[in-house]
Structure 1
Amino acid sequence: MMSLAITVIGGGAAGFFGAITALETFPGATVTILEKTRTVLNKVRISGGGRCNVTHACFDNRQLVKHYPRGEKALRSLLNQFDAADTVRWFERNGVRLKTEADGRMFPETNTSETIIDCLLHVAQNLGIRIRTSCGVSSLRKHESGWQIQLLTGETFYADRVLVATGGYPQRTAYDWFPQQTEDLITPVPSLFTFNVPTSYLLPLAGIAVHDAGVYVIGTKQQQRGPLLLTHWGFSGPAVLRLSAWAARDLAAVDYRFTLRINWVPTLTENDLRTALQNFRQQNGRKQVSSQNPFGLPSRLWLALATESGIQESQRWADLPAKLFNRLTERLTNSQFQVVGKSTFKEEFVTCGGVPLGSLNPQTLESKAQSGLFFAGEVLDVDGITGGFNFQNAWTTGYIVGKHIGL
């Protein structure tokens, strides 16, 4: 029997994991990875601030899937084949121990993404996987019982099976070379981004973090809560990134121009906050409003909110008029900012959209329309919030394709 020729298009996390699993599962095959750029595993290298957030220490798959704005239902069954616990075991079996941080993110103990890159390259090379860089694909066509792959260089070669693991691109044209599927490509839009607010009076406070804030997109049901970071362009931090992920389509539809509402004290209802302020006022009447706050907010942020409410820096709590008291309450629970655009988060981006899961076999990720064609990773219409969830999608879907691509 002739050796099965498997080509993986895309030298990222999903592509490598798919290639490795394929050759481990079907040792008689020949596996080639084609990468468009000059280096492989580029996103692995820069993720997690250069440390690579490999996965998340969430080992209950019912809870894990709740961190994916898109793809939750499909991932629920796919994780039965390879989940976060399997990821940890796989890397440890291949010489990489992972550590868990307080927020659940898992990194290599070495604290460098090069450890993950070296591991994947080592395993791939030991198996005899061919890795070719600067090999962008211009077309992929069915040819007899296999596939004809045309490179941007003009070179043509053939494969029996193909795994497309090219990652996500926010422009639909980047997918033009894909073969026709049973369902149209879901228009890709960016996810996981920060908010630009050029008119914000808080811009001078860049670097200040609030441990717990509620963030809302006015006019929608989209809201999140968590740490918030003030930046020199607007707002970032986990709460904003999660909001950008869950609201990715809503925000793209309005060209990233919308009103953001922030509640700086989300643990209290407006009435409870008002009561807390009244009590604080009575007990601290002689103290200046601008220098005393009962909610543990950063002092410079509190001063900015008070100033924006019209309160003079020398004004005492006892002398605060009802009008300014009400304004301060409003600023604390209902600060509103005009967002006009987005920024990429730490050179990382995730795409919402891509190949619809309905066009694939839900157990093998093989195209229903084109036998021998598989998809894995971010090219699928699956995306997670920050915290290692997008890499887990890459490991899971790459593994599943690798297990089935030679059948």
Structure 2
Amino acid sequence: MQPLKVVVIGGGAAGFFGAITCAETYPQAQVILLEAGRQPLTKVRISGGGRCNVTHACFDPGGLVQYYPRGGKALRGAFSRFQAKDTVAWFSDRGVELKTEPDGRMFPVTDSSETIVDCLFEAAKASGVQIRRETPVDGISRQVTPELNQPLNTGFEIKLKSGEILKCDRLLLATGSNPQGYRFCKVLGHTIEPPVPSLFTFTISDPRLQDLAGVSVESARLRLFSAGKTQLEQIGPLLITHWGLSGPAALKLSAWAARVLHDCNYQATLQINWLPQYNPEKLREMLFAVKSQLPQRAVSTSCPLPLPRRLWQSLIAAVGISGEQRWAELSNKVLNQLIQELSEGKYQIQGKGVFKEEFVTCGGINLKEVNFKTMESRICPGLYFAGEILDIDGVTGGFNFQSAWTTAYLAGQAMGKEEIKN
């Protein structure tokens, strides 16, 4: 019998992990990985500022799925079979130890993405995966029986741009958000949820944020308004930049609101509560306390709240408090305006920025068309998916890599089986 031939298209994290898993699990199979570019694993190299945020230290599948704006429900069962602790163990077994940072992100102890890249290359080589670089694919079709002109249960013809034809029994598509990958899926009968950006920063031009680039708060609550309605909210650290807002709170909100913001052309109202740990009554109590205890102090230099000095000075100026005004000079009306500014200030989102080099999209293969026990297509037997080509995306923190490792592992475990049900 001829060995089972498996082709993986896409040399990113999901493609490598799926190919390695298949080759290690089924040594008799012939596994070929096709990468269009010269250098595979590009996103792995640049992730986490070149350190590679491999996964997140959330080891409960039920908790892990909460970090996925899209795909969490489908991943619940998948994470029960391969989750973050399995990723940690996989790399540890191959000599790569991971460390956990205070925010839960996990990196190699070397703080170098090259450690992860080298590990994946070595594992691929050791398991016999054939890696073909600079091998772009031009088209994919099902093999057909000449007599009946009907698709076989398995079998694909892959036409390379060089003109070469490859035939395989199983095919894993791990092409990320590449439009050509979506085109291949459509040809093979799949539905694509339109891809739109996720994980981005907010472009905001507002005098209150001017000259505050680099200022951050440990916790802020962001509420998004579109078409006059409260759409979504997030809470977490917030960073002011020279173009607007970034940091975990903004990035998480951008992920959960990816489609809402796309539909309104990234023009929306953002409400910021700079001190969500205090309700308005507590804020009033704290402001009136300093007014009565330190009436002759300048408001600008005696902030009673845990806010960065420059941010405090900008917010009091926004309600008309001058730099020389003393607490005793503030009316109740002005104090109420200040409380509102601190807890309900509204800012206009005027566009989106890019979060470092880590471009993430929502959209991709409709998840109802995929069996999440095996990652096999429910429409085209023998076809598998892994990684960002699926309509799955997570917030920042290692979650997108974890869904890639998980879906690729499940696909690799299933692809090498000799028989596939129609």
TM-score above 0.5: yes
Q: Distance in 2 between matches of 1:154 and 1:198?
A: 51
**Cα distance per residue 1:85-127 (max 9 Å; x no partner):** 1111110000101111111111100000000000000110122
- Determine the structure 2 residue equivalent to 1:381: 391
**Cα distance per residue 1:193-227 (max 9 Å; x no partner):** 00011344313110111111111102233000010
Match of 1:162 among 171, 186, 192: 171
What amino acid maps onto 1:215 in structure 2?
A: L
* 1:126 lines up with 2:136 in the alignment: no
1:366 to 1:84, Cα distance in 2 relative to 1, 3 A = same
Contact 1:182 1:359 in 2 (8 A): no
Give ranges in structure 1 of 5+ residues lacking alignment.
Answer: none
Q: How many residue pairs get matched?
A: 405
* 1:315 lines up with 2:325 in the alignment: yes
Contact 2:55 2:87 in 1 (8 A): yes
Contact 2:287 2:304 in 1 (8 A): yes
SS at match of 2:81: coil
SS at match of 1:205: coil
Deviates more, 1:284-293 or 1:93-102: 284-293
Q: Distance in 2 between matches of 1:110 and 1:378?
A: 26
Equivalences for residues 291-310 of structure 1 within 5 A: 291-310=301-320
- Determine the structure 1 residue equivalent to 2:147: none
1:131 to 1:173, Cα distance in 2 relative to 1, 3 A = closer
What amino acid maps onto 1:177 in structure 2?
A: F
User: Percent identity, aligned pairs only?
Assistant: 51
* 1:231 lines up with 2:238 in the alignment: no
Q: Distance in 2 between matches of 1:32 and 1:174?
A: 17
Contact 2:186 2:192 in 1 (8 A): no
Q: Distance in 2 between matches of 1:142 and 1:243?
A: 41
Contact 2:141 2:188 in 1 (8 A): no
1:174 to 1:374, Cα distance in 2 relative to 1, 3 A = closer
SS at match of 1:378: helix
What amino acid maps onto 2:89 in structure 1?
A: R
Q: Distance in 1 between matches of 2:357 and 2:327?
A: 45
SS at match of 2:39: coil
Deviates more, 1:262-271 or 1:234-243: 262-271
**Cα distance per residue 1:4-29 (max 9 Å; x no partner):** 11111110111000000001111111
- Determine the structure 1 residue equivalent to 2:379: 369
- Determine the structure 2 residue equivalent to 1:399: 409
**Cα distance per residue 1:48-94 (max 9 Å; x no partner):** 11111111111111111111111111111001211111111110000
- Determine the structure 1 residue equivalent to 2:273: 263
Q: Distance in 2 between matches of 1:183 and 1:150?
A: 19
Match of 1:178 among 177, 180, 185: 185
* 1:213 lines up with 2:223 in the alignment: no
What amino acid maps onto 1:163 in structure 2?
A: L
What amino acid maps onto 1:70 in structure 2?
A: R
Contact 2:10 2:35 in 1 (8 A): yes
Q: Distance in 2 between matches of 1:215 and 1:153?
A: 51
RMSD between superposed Cα atoms in Å: 1.4
Contact 2:202 2:353 in 1 (8 A): yes
Contact 1:25 1:403 in 2 (8 A): yes
SS at match of 1:223: strand
Give ranges in structure 2 of 5+ residues lacking alignment.
Answer: 145-151, 418-422
TM-score (norm 1): 0.96
SS at match of 2:254: helix
SS at match of 2:118: helix
Q: Distance in 1 between matches of 2:327 and 2:120?
A: 62
- Determine the structure 1 residue equivalent to 2:285: 275
Equivalences for residues 79-90 of structure 1 within 5 A: 79-90=79-90
Contact 1:140 1:179 in 2 (8 A): no
**Cα distance per residue 1:341-362 (max 9 Å; x no partner):** 1111011021111001100112
SS at match of 2:220: strand
Deviates more, 1:6-15 or 1:181-190: 181-190
**Cα distance per residue 1:233-291 (max 9 Å; x no partner):** 00000000000011111111101111111100101112221222112221121111111
Q: Distance in 1 between matches of 2:11 and 2:372?
A: 23
* 1:44 lines up with 2:14 in the alignment: no
What amino acid maps onto 1:178 in structure 2?
A: C
What amino acid maps onto 1:168 in structure 2?
A: S
Contact 1:203 1:230 in 2 (8 A): no
1:231 to 1:39, Cα distance in 2 relative to 1, 3 A = same
Q: Distance in 1 between matches of 2:359 and 2:41?
A: 15
What amino acid maps onto 1:84 in structure 2?
A: A
Q: Distance in 2 between matches of 1:135 and 1:256?
A: 37
What is the CA-CA distance between 1:181 and the residue it aligns to?
A: 5.9
- Determine the structure 1 residue equivalent to 2:142: 142
Q: Distance in 2 between matches of 1:29 and 1:283?
A: 78
Contact 2:55 2:398 in 1 (8 A): yes
